[in-house]
Amino acid sequence: MFKFGNLSLSTPIILAPMAGITSYPVRMLNRRFGCEFAFTEMVDANSLNYTSRKTIEILRTGSEDRPLGIQLLGNDADQLRQNIDILRDWEFDILDLNAACPQRKVTRRDKGACLLKSTRRLNKLLKVVVKHSHVPVTVKIRLGWDDPEQGRDIALCAQDAGVCAVIVHGRTKIQMFTGTVDYASLKKVKDAVNIPVIASGDVFSAQLAKKMFDETGADAVAVARGSLGNPWIFKEIETFLKTGKIPLRPSSDELVQTMKLHFDMFNEFYGEQRSVVNFRSFFIWYTRGAVGVRPLRNRISQVKTKQDMLDLIDEFRNNL
Ligand SMILES: Cc1cc2nc3c(=O)[nH]c(=O)nc-3n(C[C@H](O)[C@H](O)[C@H](O)COP(=O)(O)O)c2cc1C
């Protein structure tokens, strides 16, 4: 059982926010495979105030898509307050502030990981969000801007602001995605605070999830890249934590059925043209590690229609 905010999850495993990835159909697919709590992609505070088509799409959800976290990307207290007012019409369970994104297009606008540079500023901003929000608030941070030792103070300032949990990616901003996750520094964060810590980074398998728990003492783990083309990871982690055994990997039939189900869900959500484009990366992820798949993968950019994609999936099936 993992409790944070008003939620009690039966497993301490969540789907991390991923921009361009964790859309409604992706969340729903992962939920079918045992993911209990999922985040939306980050929503830029600017665009939420004029609710662009893209923002509405990011926020599209349904009654079965719960419990759900919405993540905001902002640095201005007034704007975040307005965002929260707009979000009162949405049904969700956790509001997260992104203080983690290291991408240049975000940091050049002084958002995301830039909030790690000043604990005072982060604390003030989080206090406003916590005070104004009608749902419990979390913050997603990295271990620091350029020094993993900053993690403790950043987490403590978030705790002081009243967040119900911190989600910590175990790298600094300047590390981006390089190197391995810093388990020792994550443990220091966990030891410093008395709110739940959700650890993120390199949870690519059940064994790595267990390593994260064992070495950091985290209360829960967030899975991001490890779920791409691999929704089975949620049950694998759960089973491994409970029994020490890893369930069998999906059969070829199950793998192909899941690819088709996922692609169907994309078609329903995005329509034919965009679903084909958006599923191309997933085709690569689902077929990772399969023998002799390179010629098929090389053709993925030429897949233009729904039928082309279904034919390619069938060819993949026949190759297995
Ligand atoms: C494609 C992609 C998009 C991401 N988008 C977000 C985002 O919108 N908000 C956020 O807080 N983190 C984002 N992240 C970071 C992840 O949530 C996670 O913390 C990071 O990938 C480390 O976990 P992993 O090793 O399990 O991938 C993103 C990561 C990836 C790979």
* 22 ligand 1 Cβ < 6 A: no
Rg over alpha carbons for the chain, rounded to the nearest Å, is: 20
* 200 ligand 1 Cβ < 6 A: yes
pLDDT band at 320 (very low <50, low <70, confident <90, very high): confident
pLDDT in tens, 122-174: 999 999 999 999 999 999 999 999 999 999 999 999 999 999 999 999 999 99
Please work out, in degrees rounded to the nearest 5, the angle formed at the alpha carbon of residue 174 by the alpha carbons of 172 and 177: 75
CA 14 to CA 229: how far, in whole Å? 16
Cis peptide bond N-terminal to 247, omega within 30? no
How close is the Cα of 36 to the center of ligand 1, in Å? Answer: 18
Q: Which domains does the chain have, with CATH numbers?
A: 2-243 (3.20.20.70), 252-319 (1.10.1200.80)
Q: Is 35 a catalytic residue?
A: no
* 182 ligand 1 Cβ < 6 A: no
Using DSSP's 3-state secondary structure scheme, residue 114 falls into helix
* 170 ligand 1 Cβ < 6 A: no
Q: Which two tokens stand for residue 1?
A: 């059982």
What sign has the CA pseudo-torsion 214, 240, 27, 255?
A: positive
How close is the Cα of 17 to the center of ligand 1, in Å? Answer: 6
pTM more than 0.95: yes
How close is the Cα of 16 to the center of ligand 1, in Å? Answer: 6
At 239, which helix (H) or strand (E)?
helix 233-243
Ligand 1 atom showing the smallest separation from residue 222 Cα: 26
Q: What is residue 53's predicted lDDT score, i.e. its pLDDT?
A: 86
At 41, which helix (H) or strand (E)?
strand 37-44
Question: Residue whose CA is closest, atom 23 of ligand 1?
Answer: 201
* 42 ligand 1 Cβ < 6 A: yes
pLDDT band at 201 (very low <50, low <70, confident <90, very high): very high
Mutate-to-test residue for ligand 1 from 37, 94, 225, highest number of ligand atoms within 8 A of CB: 225
Kindly state the average pLDDT of the residues 178-201.
98
How close is the Cα of 178 to the center of ligand 1, in Å? Answer: 13
Ligand 1 atom showing the smallest separation from residue 112 Cα: 11
pLDDT at 84 over 80: yes
pLDDT in tens, 233-276: 999 999 999 999 999 999 999 999 999 999 999 999 999 999 99
pLDDT at 302 over 90: yes
pLDDT in tens, 215-232: 999 999 999 999 999 999
Q: What is residue 21's predicted lDDT score, i.e. its pLDDT?
A: 98
pLDDT at 50 over 90: no
Parallel, antiparallel or unpaired: strands 2-4 and 7-9 = antiparallel
User: With pLDDT > 70 as the criterion, what percentage of the chain qualifies?
Assistant: 100
* 102 ligand 1 Cβ < 6 A: no
How close is the Cα of 21 to the center of ligand 1, in Å? Answer: 9
* 19 ligand 1 Cβ < 6 A: yes
How close is the Cα of 15 to the center of ligand 1, in Å? Answer: 10
Q: Please tell me the least confidently modeled range out of 38-52, 131-145, 201-215.
A: 38-52
Question: Residue whose CA is closest, atom 21 of ligand 1?
Answer: 224
pLDDT at 52 over 90: no
User: With pLDDT > 90 as the criterion, what percentage of the chain qualifies?
Assistant: 97
Q: What is residue 144's predicted lDDT score, i.e. its pLDDT?
A: 98
